[in-house]
Amino acid sequence: MSSQETRARGLRTPGRRVHGIGAVLVVGLVLCGFVRAREGGRTRLSASPKKSEGVLMEAEKSSPVQRSVQTASGRISYTEQGTGPVALFVHGVLLNGYLWRHQLEELSELRRCIAVDLLAHGDTEITAEQDVSVTANAKMLKEFLNALKIDKVDLVGNDSGGGIAQIFAAMYPERVRTLTLTDCDTHDNWPPEAFKPFLAMAAAGGLRGTLEAMLSDKKVYRSPQALGPAYEHPEQVTDEAIEKYLRPFVRTEQRTRDLQRFLAAFDNRHTLAAEPRLKTLKAPTLIVWGTDDVYFDVKWSHWLADNIPGTRRRAEFKDARIFFPEERWEEFNRELRAHWQGAPEDASQL
């Protein structure tokens, strides 16, 4: 395996690993007794604020379209934009396909970009008792592609979505044209230590109150005690984004319970079981990692590069954190463009 690396220099900013998302337990349990977030209506997807290209280019760009398709795993919601070979984007826990809006807009002339909502997330509709584990989600992705009659994809994953992408690639390598992994569950680092207090809070019954607290006061979401540590610049996360991510979880009691089941299913046996086949994956693979991630240390990017034979490049974004595909999207999109354009059409040529 030939693996190129881009290594960022400089030390991490001190003091950024003090507060994990689990500390939101305190905030959530204090506020959940008297805070009730107002139910909001759906908001249409908004375009990226970047408008640097000319009027002609803007006129030629497609618009994002939200759709759903029935599968054996439920009615799966997704957003798509563009034409050409399909790129499939997989988000992680507590988010949905909205994470990838900048990729859909800016890469839509190169790919038919599809951002899926996982089981128990976003607008995807499932039954009350079905399996929502990461392996179940990987199987859902196959059903989803079959339903849309899509053969191969450029697969991109972040956070637990990156763990799901690894499992999918290991189970169905013939469906993967290229693979891109960003900060995500890897090997036995799942769930990461910094996330375990949040899981304990959810198991103790505080999940809905915590979600409602973050929706009622968006500053709670951005705080060091909640999801602030997941962002390089949490103060720049918009109210709209927070609404889009969290509101679906509190639309009904059942949706909150679905998320609870998703969290309860966190177990690294899923990623460990996929490793023997992952270590034979030849699909051209790009690994991009933030160096200041409290959940997934940069060492895991090295582990992936060393264990996926198809790895062609490993890059680091200095000071970036787990949700850099949203914050540092311009840099990340450049990496994706180069990766897709440089990969052979048929991975068997490698």
Q: What is the pTM of this model?
A: 0.85
pLDDT at 90: 99
Q: What is the pLDDT of residues 124-167, one digit of tens each?
A: 999 999 999 999 999 999 999 999 999 999 999 999 999 999 99
Cβ–Cβ < 8 Å for 104, 79: yes
Between the alpha carbon of residue 225 and those of residues 70, 255, 312, 317, 344, the distances in Å are: 38, 24, 37, 24, 45
CATH architecture of 71-193+253-342: 3-Layer(aba) Sandwich (3.40)
Q: Where are the domains of the chain?
A: 71-193+253-342
Mean pLDDT of 53-61: 48
Burial of residue 105 (number of CB atoms within 10 Å: 0-12, 13-18, 19+): buried
Tell me the DSSP string of 127-185: -SSS--SHHHHHHHHHHHHHHTT---EEEEEEEHHHHHHHHHHHH-GGGEEEEEEEEE-
pLDDT at 62: 84
Mean pLDDT of 276-303: 98
Mean pLDDT of 94-110: 98
pLDDT at 61: 73
Cβ–Cβ < 8 Å for 152, 145: no
Mean pLDDT of 168-195: 97
Burial of residue 136 (number of CB atoms within 10 Å: 0-12, 13-18, 19+): buried
Q: pLDDT category, 346, cuts 50, 70, 90? A: low
Q: What is the pLDDT of residues 22-37, one digit of tens each?
A: 444 434 433 333 233 3
pLDDT at 60: 61
Res 205 pLDDT > 60: yes
Mean pLDDT of 195-218: 96
Res 214 pLDDT > 90: yes
